Structure 1
Amino acid sequence: MKELAGKTAFVTGAASGIGLGIATAFAQAGAKVMLCDIEEAALSAALEQLRLTNVDVDGMKADVSLKAELAAAAEATTARYGKVHILVNNAGVGGGGPYGSWTDAAWNWTLGVNLMATIWGIEIFGPLIEQHGEGGHIVSTASIAGVISGASTAYNVSKYGVVALSEGLRQELAPRGIGVSVLCPGYIRTQIMNSSRNLPKRFEGAVRAPPTSGPIAERINQIRERVTQGIDPLYVGELVREGVENDWPYIFTDLEFEPIVEARFAGIKQGFDHIRGRTPKR
């Protein structure tokens, strides 16, 4: 997608944070953008603000952890714009919890929004991108926690899944003229630490009150502070625009975690070193 002008993009989690940053960057590059979000008031405010700059944007309220609502959003997008060229699976929640506090509701919510909605988005929008024959691109937001295990277990699992999905699809969809990128942001100034504000009733019990003291409480406060002082989502949006235009497989936002990623790879290589020179039994 060397040229975004005139193309149509569908962005989930687009009412705030990274999603709004991406939608803004795409719209300013001349793309038509359908913003999708579960938070109706924030979505209306985002659309009102964007339209002040005379860009072509529209919005659709949807809970992406419900496949039917995501399908309805796709229908609304094609009804409004005719074609879809770019899919951005960005909606995400910071759910989960440490070992010992897991619940089915927490796993279902975290995997439902972070991973299953991404899978469904590709399943629903992939054929729409293919059918016009003009090429396209898919961006899915993972996290730096998709390549290093530094967050809660459920969150890590969901984001590793997005990375694996994107890596596999990049090979599968290239012959069909569709590029695939995975976004792995670090600390970005978003509302990820307040994900429970949009918790659907069917996932009741997924979020428990965090501890007020002890190591876990300290870690949560540290992360909250880092997020508050994080990178501007508009900057991330510009990185994603550049990544789509140049077909980057991985889109990172900063270099902070590069040494940790290298250490992980070194640990993986050490696993091979343990068996180097041995002959497997057949």
Structure 2
Amino acid sequence: MSTQRIFITGGASGLGRAIALRFGRAGWRVCIADVNDTRGAETLQALAPLTSHTHYLRCDVTREEELTAASEWLTANWGGVDVVVNNAGVAQAGGIEDVPLSDWQWIVDINLLGVVRGCKVFTPLFKRQGRGHFVNVASMAGLLDMPRMSSYNATKAAVVSLSETLQNELADDRIGVSLVCPSFFKTNLGDSLRTSDPGMRTALTKLLERSPITADDIADQIFRAVEQREFYVLPHKEGRRAWLMKKLLPRDIYSSMIQKRTRRLRGRTGVAQT
């Protein structure tokens, strides 16, 4: 069997870079897409000792034509692609009354429509090939409902619904889907954070740094999910437990637990309670 090929949006840093390196170590052809050319070059340099076929494409997921150009490059140069990872994402935090609609439009365009565009553009190629696999990176925020994160939660919840739908819609075309829902882990998500509350930035940084799970750990789980064609990738034990409680407990009991946890978290991180 010929060397398998993977395309990763947001592949120059954070989880995207970890995914690129994990598949590179397995000998895959790795094409990373990003809007940060400097980080793209750095990741290509890190990939060079791992696999002989790597490429960087400047690609903005808010522009369908740039994803189409990526699909065309992969077809022309590598004969197609086996796995597409819709990973590019940003963060936004704040109370519902404080977040401007422009921030909602910004995060929806990247976190949700960026995944939609990736799936829309690459599905025809997968169908022509007779196979393919999407890895859509959402978050436990899409399964749970932490306060003061409504725009982020909503986009990730939409990615969950989209992925669940496509799992059913594309099964007969031999197109697999994996949905990745991590909780907090050490990454550079804070670089993209938009918030008017400095306390939220401090809290997010502390939560990211505190996590015992790394981007490499999550990349390992994604690699196994692709091999085994698994749908849910839920790396964090605490997140899995919280999701189970949300499904099983009455809403008022679960909601009360979340509110109490949020108050304790604000107390530990110094976020003002408003």
Residue identity in the other structure for 2:187: T
Which residue pairs with 1:226 in the alignment? 207
CA separation of 1:103 and 1:269: change in aligned 2, threshold 3 A: closer
Deviation, structure 1 residue 65:
1.3
Residue identity in the other structure for 2:134: I
2-structure distance, mates of 1:269, 1:195 = 32
Deviation, structure 1 residue 74:
1.9
Say which is worse superposed, 121-130 or 256-265, in terms of deviation: 256-265
Q: 1:265 aligns with which of 244, 247, 254?
A: 247
Give the match's secondary structure for 2:81: coil
CA separation of 1:256 and 1:76: change in aligned 2, threshold 3 A: same
Counterparts of residues 146-157 of structure 1 (less than 5 Å): 146-150=142-146, 152-157=149-154
Which residue pairs with 1:57 in the alignment? 54
2-structure distance, mates of 1:10, 1:259 = 32
Q: Is the 8 A contact 2:11 2:33 kept in 1?
A: yes
Which residue pairs with 2:268 in the alignment? none
CA separation of 1:116 and 1:44: change in aligned 2, threshold 3 A: same
Which residue pairs with 1:78 in the alignment? 75
Deviation, structure 1 residue 177:
0.5
CA separation of 1:55 and 1:25: change in aligned 2, threshold 3 A: farther
Which residue pairs with 2:137 in the alignment? 141
The normalised TM-score by structure 2 is 0.86
Which residue pairs with 2:119 in the alignment? 122
2-structure distance, mates of 1:210, 1:72 = 38
2-structure distance, mates of 1:60, 1:10 = 10
* Runs of 4 or more consecutive aligned structure 1 residues displaced over 4 Å after TM superposition: 267-271
> For 1:38-95, what per-residue CA distance to the aligned partner results, in whole angstroms no more than 9, with x for missing partners?
1110011100111033442111011111222222222222232121111110001012
1-structure distance, mates of 2:101, 2:113 = 15
CA separation of 1:60 and 1:268: change in aligned 2, threshold 3 A: farther
Counterparts of residues 79-228 of structure 1 (less than 5 Å): 79-133=76-130, 135-150=131-146, 152-195=149-192, 207-211=194-198, 217=199, 219-228=200-209
> For 1:160-208, what per-residue CA distance to the aligned partner results, in whole angstroms no more than 9, with x for missing partners?
0000001111011111101111000111211111115xxxxxxxxxx45
Matched, 1:15 2:12: yes
Deviation, structure 1 residue 104:
2.2
2-structure distance, mates of 1:126, 1:188 = 30
Say which is worse superposed, 260-269 or 118-127, in terms of deviation: 260-269
Q: Is the 8 A contact 1:95 1:109 kept in 2?
A: no
Which residue pairs with 1:204 in the alignment? none
Residue identity in the other structure for 2:21: T
Which residue pairs with 1:241 in the alignment? 223
Residue identity in the other structure for 1:139: V
- Identity between Structure 1 and Structure 2 (%): 30
Q: Is the 8 A contact 1:166 1:180 kept in 2?
A: yes
Q: Which has the higher helix share?
A: 2
Give the match's secondary structure for 2:242: helix
Q: What are structure 2's unaligned runs of at least 5 residues? A: 254-274
Instruction: Please report the RMSD computed on the Cα atoms of aligned residues, expressed in angstroms.
Output: 2.0
CA separation of 1:15 and 1:104: change in aligned 2, threshold 3 A: same
Deviation, structure 1 residue 226:
1.9
Which residue pairs with 1:33 in the alignment? 30
Say which is worse superposed, 100-109 or 226-235, in terms of deviation: 226-235
Deviation, structure 1 residue 268:
6.0
1-structure distance, mates of 2:92, 2:58 = 21
